Chains A and B, each alone.
Chain A
C-alpha cells in the first residue's frame, strides 16, 4: 500500500486541475459573409457562400444548412472572360457530381437530395483553371461587393514517390522526394486517393511551405489519410501491397497559404492557453471571412508492388 502513496500523490496533483463548462457573456458578434472558393487547373471554379453565426447560436444540422447563402451574384474573371457562376444545388445535381458534392458539403451521397445546399460554379470551360492565369472573384450580396484575386502558378513535380516495405511485410508508408525550387516562395497542399476513388482525401493538415527547405531536395513520409475511415484493415496509416494510389501535390500562393496556415493553427491550438487568439486572415476584400484559392496540382501515381 505504502508504495502507492507517492504515485497517488503525484497523480492527484496532476488531476488537481479541473475543467468545467461555464456561462459567460461574449459580446461583439457581427454577422459576416464567408467565402469558400477555389479554382484548380483544368477544373471549374467552385464557390460556397455562408454566414458567420453568433458563438452561442444553435449548432444543429438545420443551423448549418440555414447558414449557406443562396441568391448572390458571383462572377469569376480570368482577365479575358468574365463569367457569372451558376448555383448548383444538392437537390438538383448534374449526374456524376454527387461524390464531389458530398465531399464539399459533408453530407452522405444518398442524403444529398434531402437538402437544398448550393454551390456556385460554371460549366463554361473558358473560365476553368489554367496555369499562369490570374482569377478575380467578385461576390455581390445584400448590396455589398467582395473581391479577391488568386493565381494558378507553375506546379512543382514530385521527384519520386516510393513504397518500400520492410522485408516480410506487405505494408509501409510511402516516401516522397521533393526538390523545392530555390529562391522563390513555395507552398504546397497534398492529397491522396486510391485510383478507383472519385475524390481526394486530405490528411490532418495537408499544407506546408518551404520556409525551412527553400531550394533543398528532401524526402518525407506520406501517411495514408484514407485509412482512417477503413477500420477493416490493420496499419491504417500505411499503404498495402496491391494499392494503386494517386498523390496530388498542389501549389498555392502566399496569402492563400497564410489563410490555411492560420486556420490549422487555430484548429490545433483550440483550448491551448499557450496559444494566442488568432483570427484567420482572409484574402477577400470587403470584410468577408474565407479564402479564394488557386491550385496548381501535380499528380503522381504509384502501384504498391
Chain B
C-alpha cells in the first residue's frame, strides 16, 4: 500500500515536471552582502506569476517558470525588497548578494516573511532571527535562545533552574535539538539557567512544534533547529561581550576571500573566580567552585559553483566542585556536550540539490565523591555517530520534493559505577553499554493543488535495531537466584520499525487569511529517565531495548491564520491534540543505586499520555514597537498501570494557562527598550498526605502522583540597550564636505532587570519537620524555595 503511494507520488512529480515544456529555471544562492553568509528563508518572488521560492538552510533556491522576462523580487528580513529584471528564456543561475546597495541597516525591516504565516503550510512553526532574540531582556545579561523560545505559545520551561523545555505537553526528551544538524542531548548550562547556544555564534533559530515534516524524525514533540553563523568571508571581525558572570569572544573572517570563511566563538563564566575570592583558604569549603565554558567553531569553503563544504563543531562543559574538609567530603560533577558536523552541498542540476552530512555527538555526565576512605564514581552518557543525505528537487513552481535517508549508531552508557574503600574495589558490575542502529528513509512533496490549496505530504519509514553486546539481568526473588543472558557483539536483540505519515494542508481563504490542518505520526527510539522532581544533568538517556519499546505519538492540529493592515499584524489560533504511547517512568521507590548490576529498563514502567490545547498568537513585527502576545490553554496527562494505582495523573509540566507578552520599542537609533511578562499555572508535584512513626522516626506517605500544584509563576523583565552612535563625522579632504561615515567599532550597553516586582516564584515545595515528639515541639510545614528575586545586570557588547 505504502510502496504504491511512494511510487505514485514520485511518478506524479516526474510527470508533472516532464509536462512543463517551454519553462526555464532560475536558481542560485542568496547571500548577505555584509558578510557573505547564506540567507536562510529569503524569498525569490515573481509577482506577475504569483510564484515564489524560498531559500533553504544553505541559501539555495530554485524556481521554474514559463520562459520569459520577469521582474524578480529578492526579499530578506534584513533588507528592503531588491528587484532585478531577469531574462528567463533559458535556465539561469543567479547567485546574488542582497543588501549591496543598502547602507542603513539599523532598522530591521521584516518583509521577506510578510504573509508567510498565512501562505505557508507550516503549522506550529516559528522562526526567530538572532537579532530579534538579542533585543529581549536577558537573564544576567546573557542572551539565550532557549529562554526566548520559552516565550512562545505552546513552549514552556518546567521552572527556573529546570533543564530543557516542554512543547505541547511532551517531555524534554521529545524535542530534537539540532546545532547545524548535530544532535544536542543536553542544551543546558548551569542547571538550565543558560543554554549551550552562544548568541554570538548563532544565526537563526527554527522551532517546529507541530506538523513535523518528514525529513525530521526521532523525536515526538518538536524540532529546534539552531543554525550557526558561517563567518564573514569579506573581512575579519571581532565581537564580544563582558557581563556580570560571563564573557564572550568571537572572531570571524575569510579563509579565502569570497570562497570560504570561519568563525570561532568562545564563552566562559567566572563564577569560580568569584567563589575563590569569596571563600577564604581557611574555610572548609575552599576549593568549591563552578564554571562552564563552550566553544563554537565553523569553517566553510566553496569548492566550486556546485560544491560547498561546512565543518561545524561545538564543545562545552560544566564543572562543579564541592569540598567540605571538615566533613572529609569532596565531590566533583562535570558534564557536557561535544558535537561535530561535516556537510557537503552539491548541486546536480539547477533543480536538484543534495546535502550530505556526517555527525558526531557526545554527551557525558560524571559524578565523583570521596568520603573518608570511601570513593565513588558514577558516569553516564550517550555517543552518536551518524550520517544523512537529503535531496531537494524543484521540478516546477508547484512542487518542492525532498527525499533522503539518515542513520545513527548509538552507544548509550546509562550508568557506570565504580566504588572502592582503601585498597578494596567493590564489585559494581561491568559498565553497561547499549548499542543501537537507528535509521530512516523519507519522501515528501509540498505541492500546490491550486492557487488556494497547498499540501505537504510525506512519509517516513524508521527502523531501530537493539544489538549486542548486551547482558540482560533477570532478577530473582528471595528464593530464586539472579540470572543473566549474555548477547555477543552484533547480536540482534530486537528490531522495531514503522511508518510515519506526515500531512499538512493550507487553504488560502484570502490573501490575508488561511486555514491550516496537520497530522504527524512519530516514532522515538530514545528516552530520558528522571528520578528527580526537577530536570537535571543526572537524568539518564536510555535507548529503546528489547524491553523498553519505542515511544510513539501522533499529533493532529488545525489553525486559523489572519494578518491585518498589510501584514503589519499577524494572528493565529491553533488547536492540537497529541496522543503518546510507551512513555517511561521509574518504578515507585526506585533509587539511583538500583541501576548497579541491573538493567535500567528493569526499573522502568511504561504508560501512555495525551495532551491537548489551544494556542493564541498575536504578533506585530513592523514598526518602532514590535512584539507578541502568546496564550496557551492546555492540559497534559499520563496513565501508567504501575503508577498511581493505574489512575490518570497530571504530567509534572502540565500547565493550564501560559501567557507571555513581549514588546520591543525602538525609541531612536541609540535606545531600544524591551519587556517580557510571563504568567503560567504552577507546576504539579507530589507531596505527603500523612505522617507516621516508626522507631521514633517521623515518616511520610505520599498521596496521588502530582496531585498538588504550586502557586502560579509570573514575572516581568525589562531591558534597555544603549547603542553607540553608528556613524561619525568625516570631512572629505578633497571636497571639504562633512559626511557621515559608518563607525568600524560599535558597542552597546545592555541594561536589564529580571523579575522587576521581585516575585518569589516557586522552584519547588517540600514538607519539613523540626523538633521531637518527646520534647513536644514537632512542627510539620510546607516550605517553598524560590530562586531569583529582582536581579539587575549590565553587559557591554562590542564588535569591530
State yes or no: do A and B come from one complex: yes
Interface string of A60-74 (1 = CB under 8 A from B): 110010010000000
- Docked-complex contact B703 and A27, CB < 8 angstroms: yes
Q: Among A90-98, A159-167, A240-248, A264-272, which stretch is in contact with chain B? A: A264-272
- B783: contacting residue among A19, A29, A61, A67, CB under 8 A: A19
CB-nearest residue of chain A relative to B772?
A: A106
Q: Among B40-48, B55-63, B433-441, B685-693, which stretch is in contact with chain A? A: B685-693
- Asked whether A27 and B689 contact (CB < 8 A) given A18-B760, A281-B589, the answer is yes
Contacts of B707 in A (CB 8 A): 26-28
Q: How far is the CA of A53 from the CA of B698 in the complex (A)?
A: 11
Contacts of B591 in A (CB 8 A): 261-262, 265, 278
B569 at the interface (CB under 8 A from A): no
Contacts of A216 in B (CB 8 A): 424, 426-427
Residues in A91-113 with C-beta less than 8 Å from chain B: 104-108
B74 at the interface (CB under 8 A from A): no
A277 at the interface (CB under 8 A from B): yes
CB-nearest residue of chain A relative to B140?
A: A13
Q: How far is the CA of A32 from the CA of B692 in the complex (A)?
A: 9
A21 at the interface (CB under 8 A from B): yes
Contacts of A274 in B (CB 8 A): 531-534, 536, 538
- Asked whether A54 and B689 contact (CB < 8 A) given A11-B278, A279-B701, A289-B701, the answer is yes
- Docked-complex contact A211 and B596, CB < 8 angstroms: yes
Chain A count of residues within 8 A CB distance of the other chain: 81
Residues in B526-556 with C-beta less than 8 Å from chain A: 531-534, 536, 538
- Docked-complex contact A7 and B586, CB < 8 angstroms: no
B607 to chain A, nearest CB (A): 16
Q: How far is the CA of A56 from the CA of B689 in the complex (A)?
A: 8
Q: Among A80-88, A193-201, A217-225, A297-305, which stretch is in contact with chain B? A: A217-225
Instruction: With a 10 A CB-CB cut-off, give which of B274, B419, B687, B701 has the most chain A CB atoms.
Output: B701
- B687: contacting residue among A26, A34, A221, CB under 8 A: A26
Size category of the B interface is 35 or more
Q: How far is the CA of A271 from the CA of B770 in the complex (A)?
A: 12
Contacts of B15 in A (CB 8 A): none
Q: Among B20-28, B655-663, B733-741, B761-769, which stretch is in contact with chain A? A: B761-769
A114 at the interface (CB under 8 A from B): no
- Docked-complex contact B373 and A221, CB < 8 angstroms: yes
Contacts of A50 in B (CB 8 A): 692-693
CB-nearest residue of chain A relative to B372?
A: A221
Contacts of A231 in B (CB 8 A): none
Residues in A1-44 with C-beta less than 8 Å from chain B: 3, 6-11, 13, 16-32, 34, 36
Residues in B656-694 with C-beta less than 8 Å from chain A: 685-694
Contacts of B422 in A (CB 8 A): 219
A16 to chain B, nearest CB (A): 5
Interface string of B736-760 (1 = CB under 8 A from A): 0000000000000000000000001
Q: How far is the CA of A290 from the CA of B33 in the complex (A)?
A: 74
Interface string of B700-732 (1 = CB under 8 A from A): 111110011001000000000000000000000
CB-nearest residue of chain A relative to B764?
A: A273
B773 at the interface (CB under 8 A from A): yes
9 A-B Cβ contacts within 8 A?
A: A17-B785, A19-B784, A22-B784, A30-B689, A51-B692, A274-B533, A274-B538, A276-B531, A277-B688
Q: Could you list which residues of chain B lie within 8 angstroms of chain A, going by C-beta atoms?
A: 244-245, 271, 273-275, 277-278, 372-373, 419, 421-422, 424, 426-428, 478, 481, 531-534, 536, 538, 586, 588-591, 593, 596-597, 685-697, 699-704, 707-708, 711, 760, 762-769, 772-776, 778-789, 791
- Give 10 nearest A-B pairs by CB, closest first: A28-B703, A7-B278, A212-B426, A61-B776, A273-B764, A10-B274, A59-B778, A64-B773, A271-B766, A52-B692
